[in-house]
Amino acid sequence: MAGRVAGRVALVTGASSGLGKRFAQVLAAEGAKVVVAARRKDRLDALVAELGADKALAVECDVTDEAAVVAMFDAAEAKFGVVDTVINNAGMTHEKNALTQDIAEFRKILDLNVTSVWCVAREAARRLIKAGADVSARGRIVNIASMAGRIIIPNVSAYNASKAACSHLTRSLAREWARYGINVNGLSPGYVETELTADWLHSEGGKKYMQKFPRRRMMDETSLDEALLFLCADASKFVTGSDVMVDDAQSMG
Ligand SMILES: NC(=O)c1ccc[n+]([C@@H]2O[C@H](COP(=O)([O-])OP(=O)(O)OC[C@H]3O[C@@H](n4cnc5c(N)ncnc54)[C@H](OP(=O)(O)O)[C@@H]3O)[C@@H](O)[C@H]2O)c1
């Protein structure tokens, strides 16, 4: 049986670790050709070796660099054709409260979590539209936001603000590109144990925080698989401008 995303060319940013790596594995297992991007090329190469060089391509890219984003799409297109599925996953958080944070760090977080999401989505949409209506109608852009875009996680105001902006950007782009058939949706996870969160989750503060979750359990990297596949597959043809929250009720704690 063909996979749920067979025939698609998917690009996953921030695929060198955590959720992005998992998203690439899930999309490849369901039949997509996958372009994996991040700054740590050695990790991407290892992922491509696992997925198969005929099915995956590693591209070193700092997504805050506009020229590098264009070059990433050029490389993807040269190997597999027009990218019709984008997982805008690269992101970062921080640990400083607003009083101790400097403006450079605040800007860095907004640059990666919002501006680069816009830049990658824009490049994808430009190419999809140029390729014509048959191609753009397959367009799927999934922006990885966070429950932090809807609730306040203490002491990470830049992160909270960036993820709220990411979600509103998602809806704005969905509206703008609706006429081309391109679907733009958000996927907002609660806490999932990854490199980004592991240290904190295992700290005393993290364990105490987890006790507030209604289900008092942690999600793992597989928890988002089905939501991701739905948003990338033909099944979500009529879904655009949505934000799918996968948080195991954490935000209601
Ligand atoms: N884990 C959670 O609990 C959780 C919850 C809600 C939302 N999220 C969101 O999910 C996404 C992935 O998080 P994660 O937990 O998997 O974190 P992670 O393991 O730290 O992964 C972050 C990824 O982003 C990449 N990245 C960082 N800066 C980049 C840049 N300038 N250019 C290109 N790639 C860059 C990193 O790769 P390189 O360093 O190799 O570039 C890495 O692959 C983020 O957007 C995060 O906000 C995570």
Mutate to test the pocket of ligand 1, among 95, 196, 201 (most ligand atoms within 8 A of CB): 196
> How many domains does the structure of the chain reveal?
1
At 206, is the pLDDT very low, low, confident or very high (cuts 50, 70, 90)? Answer: confident
Q: Does the Cβ of 146 fall within 6 Å of ligand 1?
A: yes
How confident is the model at residue 198, as a pLDDT? 86
Answer whether residue 55 shows pLDDT above 90: yes
At 115, is the pLDDT very low, low, confident or very high (cuts 50, 70, 90)? Answer: very high
Q: Does the Cβ of 40 fall within 6 Å of ligand 1?
A: yes
Q: DSSP string covering 234-245, please? A: GGGTT--S-EEE
The rounded Å distance from CA 202 to ligand 1 centre is: 19
Q: Is residue 2 in some structural domain?
A: no
How confident is the model at residue 253, as a pLDDT? 84
Answer whether residue 1 shows pLDDT above 70: no
Q: Is residue 4 in some structural domain?
A: no
Q: Does the Cβ of 14 fall within 6 Å of ligand 1?
A: yes
Q: What is the pLDDT of residues 221-243, one digit of tens each?
A: 999 999 999 999 999 999 999 99
At 94, is the pLDDT very low, low, confident or very high (cuts 50, 70, 90)? Answer: confident
Q: Is residue 3 in some structural domain?
A: no
The CATH number assigned to the domain holding 56 equals 3.40.50.720
The gap from C-alpha 234 to its chain's centroid, in whole angstroms, comes to 19
The rounded Å distance from CA 1 to ligand 1 centre is: 32
Q: Is residue 119 in some structural domain?
A: yes
Task: Name 143's bridge partners.
Answer: 88, 186
Domain ranges, residue 67: 9-244
Mutate to test the pocket of ligand 1, among 11, 39, 244 (most ligand atoms within 8 A of CB): 39
Mutate to test the pocket of ligand 1, among 12, 13, 17 (most ligand atoms within 8 A of CB): 17
The rounded Å distance from CA 196 to ligand 1 centre is: 7
Answer whether residue 116 shows pLDDT above 90: yes
Query: E-strand spans in the chain?
Result: 9-13, 33-38, 56-60, 85-88, 140-144, 183-189, 243-246
Q: Is residue 252 in some structural domain?
A: no
Q: Is residue 251 in some structural domain?
A: no
Report the percent of the chain where pLDDT is more than 90. Answer: 91
> Is 159 a catalytic site residue?
yes
- Exposed, middle or buried, 211 (CB in 10 Å: 0-12/13-18/19+)? exposed
How confident is the model at residue 200, as a pLDDT? 82
For the chain, give the mean pLDDT: 96
Answer whether residue 105 shows pLDDT above 70: yes
The rounded Å distance from CA 134 to ligand 1 centre is: 32
The answer to whether the pTM exceeds 0.95 is yes
